[in-house]
Structure 1
Amino acid sequence: MTKHEFEVAMTCEGCSGAITRILNKLGDEVKFEIDLPKRLVWIESEKEMDILMETLKKSGLEVKYNGTK
């Protein structure tokens, strides 16, 4: 599985909670980690990066793709 890194403009636990709820809707084949202090989200998935990006943007937060890790 490919591991993608995204920078997300999270400022609080509420933001990271919103990201968690959104990503959980993608199903069991998506694994993710959130680093709130660094404002980073790592997603392991076979889904296309564009789909992951659009999903994260549903949070209403600014999202930037940093590449694969």
Structure 2
Amino acid sequence: MSQTVVLKVAMSCEGCVGAVKRVLGKMEGVESFDVDQKEQKVTVKGNVQPEAVLQTVSKTGKKTSFWEEGASVAAT
């Protein structure tokens, strides 16, 4: 089942954005992702588990949490 996971990630520079894109690019089940440095927001779509996405992005060393906007996970 495809779903969307939205994370809040502390990214201060292009290098941070690159690191997040790199780990998501290697992650199994990810269909697409959008990294917005200005909003500090990472949106991941695909056949993924929210917890696994959070763990993967956390490996970059960035402060990562689920986006607090109503429901953090929307099934599609």
| TM, length-normalised to structure 1 | 0.90
Give the corresponding residue for 1:68. Answer: 73
**Aligned positions, number:** 68
Moved over 4 A (4+): none
Give the corresponding residue for 1:33. Answer: 34
TM-superposed CA distance for 1:68, in Å, is 2.2
Which has the higher Rg, Structure 1 or Structure 2? 2
CA distance in 2: counterparts of 1:23 and 1:35, whole angstroms: 14
Identity among equivalent positions (%) equals 28
| Unpaired segments ≥5 residues, structure 2 | none
Give the corresponding residue for 1:3. Answer: 4
CA distance in 1: counterparts of 2:48 and 2:19, whole angstroms: 20
Are the aligned partners of 2:7 and 2:41 in contact in 1 as well (CA < 8 Å)?
A: yes
Provide Cα deviations, 1:3-31, integer angstroms capped at 9, x if missing partner: 1110000001000000011111114x411
Provide Cα deviations, 1:12-57, integer angstroms capped at 9, x if missing partner: 1000000011111114x41100111010000002111111111000
